[in-house]
Amino acid sequence: MSHIPHIENESRRRFLHGAAGLSLAIYLPGTLGATGPGLPPDATAVAQNFEPNAFVRIGADNVVTVISKHIEMGQGTYTGIATIIAEELDAAWSQVRVEGAPADAKRYANTLWGPFQGTGGSSAMANSWMQMRQAGAAARAMLTAAAAQQWQVPVAEISVSEGLISHTASGRSGKFGEFVQLAADQSVNRPGFPRLLRAS
């Protein structure tokens, strides 16, 4: 006669206690190498990034990262928000990336909902339109000011097109990534800042 092993039924309390211990083992700080929204980035990367506001980050590698405060659920939110910033910044579409914003209602609130962060009710574009334009315009203004300072020319003579900053008179040009460190030192406390690229 074969022996049938005895199977002990675990109590719910005992099971949950064990599961909690397993979760802690998996998510202990320092055990994961991946980075993402809300996680501290590498110190070297921080030094090479230009972050003029909560919605734009430009790296020395010339990548423009748009921080979207709205979730992409197939409705095209990421594309729409990135397009607004890219157009105002005059960035090449090929250099643009999108990253979801961390949970931070103070910086990423849905302006149509009050002090709350969230996506819904077809509100993503409506409440982001002017905010994203200003974010892109601010980044563009600080980059052009940095180029003017480096080349010792009037900022009014600097132009931007498809991610390339140029000074036609001297024949000089450079990508966004070449000016990130100097751009971070530019003042934003001046009248009319930022000036939008096109009329609303």
**Domain-by-domain residue ranges, the chain?**
43-183
Looking at per-residue pLDDT, the higher value among 4 and 120 belongs to: 120
Structure confidence at residue 92 (pLDDT): 97
Asked whether the predicted pLDDT for residue 17 surpasses 50, the reply is no
Rounded average pLDDT over 62-75: 87
Asked whether the predicted pLDDT for residue 1 surpasses 60, the reply is no
Rounded average pLDDT over 151-164: 96
Q: Give the three-state DSSP class for 65.
A: strand
Q: What is the DSSP string of 125-191?
A: HHHHHHHHHHHHHHHHHHHHHHHHHHHTS-GGGEEEETTEEEETTTTEEEEGGGGHHHHTT----ST
Answer yes or no: are the C-beta atoms of 128 and 69 closer than 8 Å: yes
Q: Give the three-state DSSP class for 102.
A: coil
**Gap between the Cα atoms of 85 and 133, Å rounded:** 6
pLDDT tier for residue 74 given thresholds of 50, 70 and 90: confident
DSSP 58: E
Rounded average pLDDT over 135-160: 96
Percent pLDDT > 90 in the chain is: 48
Quick: pLDDT tens for 32-44: 233 344 444 444 4
Quick: pLDDT tens for 43-60: 444 558 999 999 999 999
Task: Tell me the HSE value of 18 on the side-chain side, using a 13 A CA sphere.
Answer: 6
Asked whether the predicted pLDDT for residue 8 surpasses 50, the reply is no
pLDDT tier for residue 15 given thresholds of 50, 70 and 90: very low
**Gap between the Cα atoms of 178 and 157, Å rounded:** 18
Q: Which of 148, 153, 150, 138 is nearest to 187 (CA)?
A: 138
Q: Considering only the top CATH level, what class is 43-183?
A: alpha beta
